[in-house]
Every structure is written in structure tokens, then in C-alpha cells.
Amino acid sequence: MTWDLFHQQVFPIRHKLYRFALRITGSVHEAEDVVQEVMEKVWKTAPAQTENVQNWEAWCMTLTRNRSLDKTRSQTLRRTSPLEVEVDRKSDTVTPAQATEGNDLIAHVKLMMQQLPEKQKLVMHLRDIEELSYDEIAAALQISLDQVKVNLHRARKAIRKKMIND
Amino acid sequence: MKYEEVQEILDRYWEGETTLEEERRIKAYFNGGQIDARLSHIGPMFQAIREEQSLQLVTKAKAARIRPRRYLWAIAASLALLLTAGWWMFRAADTTIQTAANTIDESSQSIKIQKVVEKPPSSLAIEAQPAQNTLSIKRKASRKRVKTTPFIDSETAMAMAEIKAALALVSSKLYAGRNEAIKGATYLERMEKIPKRKTG
């Protein structure tokens, strides 16, 4: 990885990677760690390995997703995780109490998006928040184009249904 | 954008059949402020998306990196200050020792000269009695002594001065210590006497 390549392709998308990591981990601290680790990994990757990379954003997104999932899995497996971390994790994302409080509908929508099934949540995030094309989403999540469309459709339908019901 | 147009795009949006461009248009509409009352219930959805889009990674690493540097500067500055202060003090102490050494050197030299000057006559008087020819040799020797002994190199003089100063310091401390010891002893003696008096 060369300095120029890193600064042109990887560094500018750090906020995207952070939002994606935050979507999966639900923790600001863990998302920060994930981005840091992904950046480091990309930087240390041998040039021969990066030759085949067509879409840097999608490649980095995949790395971010894998690293974030590893983190959340290790978090759930670790039964002896300190209490503060648990409290912290909850405070970063919107709690149900916060969402229903008054008429904070925006927070409520955020919570609904966070509560979607994993694949739907990630597809919707990459499409509606990061504005990626279907092809890019398929590449980042390593799923088929049809899978992208189906999951996006289901995610939006679920949100709409909840919004109408509430 | 008209209500009908927005509604048409929205219908396709829920189905996941809109293009990125169309999605950007309805996002702009819902975040523009003038939303049709019939669509107001959808508003929070796009406002939530906009809020999520504005989330940014706050690099704490930078702030954390600057702080220790500031401390380092402070440490470096205080160290430099301490070093210069120490150097000044050391230099001041050094000069006083040197001046002391010089005065001692001068005085010791004058003493030595006096002693040596005093000696020759007595030796001459003794030597004069046995033989006259040895006198010249002895004189030469005494002359040599006169010449060599007074010139003590500055290093030895300094060493001497330092030893003298150190000894003086030790003796003064010893003196003070002895006084303290005497005081303590007399105090103990007195303390011992008090109960004796009371009992006696």
C-alpha cells in the first residue's frame, strides 16, 4: 500500500467505515477501534495483494464488517465482560425508553433501523446512509445482487409498516 | 416537488425500486422544510437518515498525541532551568574553593619559604664544624631545596585546600555533634535526678 493510494482511496472513507462499524457493534469505542484496525490492516497489506482490488471502498467495507462482527461475537462470548462496557454500549445507541419518550420520532426510526435483522440492517445502511450502488453493496457484503435487492425491500417494508402502525 | 411526484417515488422506494438519484431527491425534499401535511409522518425517517449520515469519526488520537508533547516541552524547559541553575551554583562554589585554594597556596608557599630560609644557617653551622669542603655541597643541596619545595602545583594545592575545608567542616560538625551529645547527656542526667529527688 503506497502513501498516495492510502490517502486517495482509504483515508477519505474513514467516516463511512466508522458509521458502518457503529451500525454493527453499536458502540462508539468499538467502532473507533475497528476503523483503527482496518486502516492498519489496509496499510500493511502487501502491494501484490492489493493489485486485484477494484473497489477500495467495498474492500474496506468488507474488512470493517468482518472486524466488527468478530468484535461483537467476542463480546457476546465473553461472559465476564465488565459492567461499564455494557452500560456504555447501551448509551451509544438509542434505548427504547429514549425512543418512546415524548415525540422523538427520529430517535424511534433510528432504533427501528438498528433492530432490523443483520443483513437487512446492513443493506439498508449501505444504501440509504452511505448511498452505495447495488453492485457495491453486493461486493461489500459478499452477497448476490438479488440478495441485496430482497433485503433492501424487506428492510424498507418493515420500517414503513412500523411507521404506519405507530 | 409536488405531492404526487413525491408519493410516486416513495411508493417505489418502499419496494426497493428507486435509483440513487431518485432517493437523493426525496431525501432533499424531506429535509427541505416544506413537507406536504399528507407526508409529514414519513419525515422522521429521512431526518433520521440525514442525522446518521452526518456522524463522523472523531479522531481522539490527535488530541492525545499533542498533550504529552506539551508536557515534554515543560519537562525539557524545567530540566534546562535546573541544569543552568546547578551549573551556576557549581561554578560559584568552584570559584570560592579556587580562591581559597589560592590564598592557602600563597600562604603555604610563604611558610615553606620561611622554613627553608631559616634552615640553611643552622645546617651551615653544624656542617661548618667537621669539614669545609662538604659545606659547598651541602649549600648546593640546600639551595636546591629552596628552589624546588615552594613550587607546589595548583592541583595539589587545590586538593590540600579541599581536604582542609572538608576536615574543617567535619571538625565543626563533630564539635556541634559533641555539644549536642553533651546537652543530651546533661538532660538525661537531670531527668534521672528528678525522680530520685521525688522519691528521696
Candidates 3.40.50.300, 3.30.497.10, 1.10.10.10, 3.40.30.10; CATH matching A99-166 = 1.10.10.10
Q: Nearest 5°: phi and psi at B59?
A: -80, 105
CB-nearest to B45 from A14, A22, A163 is: A163
Is there a single domain that holds both residue B192 and residue B106?
Answer: yes
CA contacts within 13 A on the Cβ side of B34: 3
Positive or negative torsion for Cα B136, B138, B142, B144:
positive
pLDDT of residue B21: 95
Is there a single domain that holds both residue B36 and residue B105?
Answer: no
Ordered by start, the domain boundaries in chain A are 1-93, 99-166
Is there a single domain that holds both residue B47 and residue B125?
Answer: no
Question: Mean of the pLDDT values across residues B105-120?
Answer: 56
Rounded CA-CA distance B11/A133 in Å is 19
Does residue B47 lie within any of the structural domains? yes
Does residue B36 lie within any of the structural domains? yes
Q: Which fold has domain A1-93?
A: Rna Polymerase Sigma Factor; Chain: A (1.10.1740)
Between B148 and B77, the more confident residue is: B77
Element (H, E) at B63: helix B60-128
CB-nearest to A156 from B14, B24, B43 is: B14
Is there a single domain that holds both residue B29 and residue B107?
Answer: no
pLDDT tens digits, one per residue of B33-64? 788 888 888 888 999 999 999 988 886 554 44
Is there a single domain that holds both residue B34 and residue B108?
Answer: no
B23 touches A131 (CB < 8 A): yes
Closest approach of A15 to chain B, Cα-based (Å): 5
Residue ranges in chain A modelled with pLDDT below 70: 77-103, 166
pLDDT of residue B133: 56
Rounded CA-CA distance A110/B4 in Å is 27
Positive or negative torsion for Cα B174, B176, B182, B185:
negative
Does residue B64 lie within any of the structural domains? no
Count: domains in chain B: 2
Rounded CA-CA distance B10/B17 in Å is 10
A71 touches A34 (CB < 8 A): yes
Does residue B68 lie within any of the structural domains? no
pLDDT tens digits, one per residue of B162-177? 888 988 888 888 888 8
A121 touches A23 (CB < 8 A): yes
A59 touches A38 (CB < 8 A): no
The whole domain housing B44 covers: 3-53
Rounded CA-CA distance B29/B31 in Å is 5
Does residue B88 lie within any of the structural domains? no
Q: Nearest 5°: phi and psi at A103?
A: -120, 45
Question: Mean of the pLDDT values across residues B99-114?
Answer: 62
The contact set of A with B (CB < 8 A) is 14-15, 17-19, 22, 31-32, 35, 105-110, 113, 125, 127-129, 131, 133, 149, 152-153, 156-157, 159-160, 163-164
pLDDT of residue B97: 65
pLDDT tens digits, one per residue of B120-152? 555 454 444 545 555 555 555 555 554 445 566
Rounded CA-CA distance B25/B6 in Å is 9
pLDDT of residue A131: 94
Q: What is the DSSP letter of A94?
A: P
Rounded CA-CA distance B159/B101 in Å is 8
Question: Mean of the pLDDT values across residues B182-197?
Answer: 77
Between the two ends of chain B, the Cα-to-Cα distance in Å is 118
